[in-house]
Amino acid sequence: MNHPLDQLARHCQSDAHSESTLPPAALAALRLIRAEKLLTRLPQDLIGELVGWAAFALLMGNLLWSQRNIYALLSHIYAVVMLALTVREWVAARDLDLAAPVTLVQQRLEALSLLRIFRLKFAILGGIILWAPLAFVLFEALSGRPLAINNLWLIANLVFGVLIAVATVWLLRLYPQANRIARALSGESIAEAERALAQLHTFQSE
């Protein structure tokens, strides 16, 4: 028992009753909770997004039914995939139990983080590529007549969208410090989450 850590352990345990009051910050948080100001905030953060994507998918489904063209189909697929990804993230967030063992919770948090990054990337990169078909579908829905589309222009636009997406990712890889979105698009957040998962795996192994 001569190791410094054992000395510190004896110190901590002998000092067990020296900290009998909560820190002021914790007491402040408790008062806020008692006033029920914060109870409703966190649990359903994703509900708004879920409702939004569900409404968008329904709208695109209706437009697909009435327009029956490839642009409406692409737009509907985009909306449905976004809805599915949001549902998946919401379920993962809802099922998270912070009272579960630490390594398990941390693994689930990292998995949740990966889901969030994937959804963000899909929303942005998919949006860049599919904005033209979406615009056609919405134009026809609002004006009641299809837009005269030059196929060559559409293909050029899709290619342009892909190039913009690739260029965005490439530029953000050079400057990934910008913000959360930049870090997600550049792959930095994914690499960070994967590193954390690898650390957890190592910690769990004997």
Partner 1 sequence: MLLEQHSRILHRVCRLYARTPADSEDLAQDITLALWRAFPSYDPARKFSTWMYRIALNVAISHLRRHKPALPLSATTEPTILPSSQIEELYRLVAQLDPLDRSLVLLYLEGYSFPEIGDILGISATNASTKLTRIKQSWKESA
Residues making contact with partner 1 (CB under 8 A) = 3-5, 7-26, 28-30, 33, 38-39, 42-43, 97-106, 109, 196, 199-200, 203-206
Least distance to partner 1, CB of residue 108, Å: 10
CB of 196 to partner 1, least distance (A): 7
70 CB-contact burial (10 Å; exposed 0-12 / middle 13-18 / buried 19+): exposed
Give least dist CB 159 to partner 1, A.
39
Q: Which is nearer to partner 1, 144 or 206 (CB)?
A: 206
The token duo for 91 is 């379920």
Find all residues with CB under 8 Å of 10, minimum gap 6, and list them: 1
Count of Cβ atoms closer than 10 Å to residue 149 Cβ: 15
Closest by CA to 83, choosing from 62, 65, 59, 56, is 56
- The nearest distance, CB 110 to partner 1, in angstroms, is 9
Tokens describing residue 84: 């599915």
User: Which one, 29 or 91, has the nearer CB to partner 1?
Assistant: 29
Question: Which CB atom, from 149 or from 200, has the smaller least distance to partner 1?
Answer: 200
Among 97, 124, 99, CA closest to 179: 124
Specify the residue, 151 or 177, whose C-beta has the smaller distance to partner 1.
177
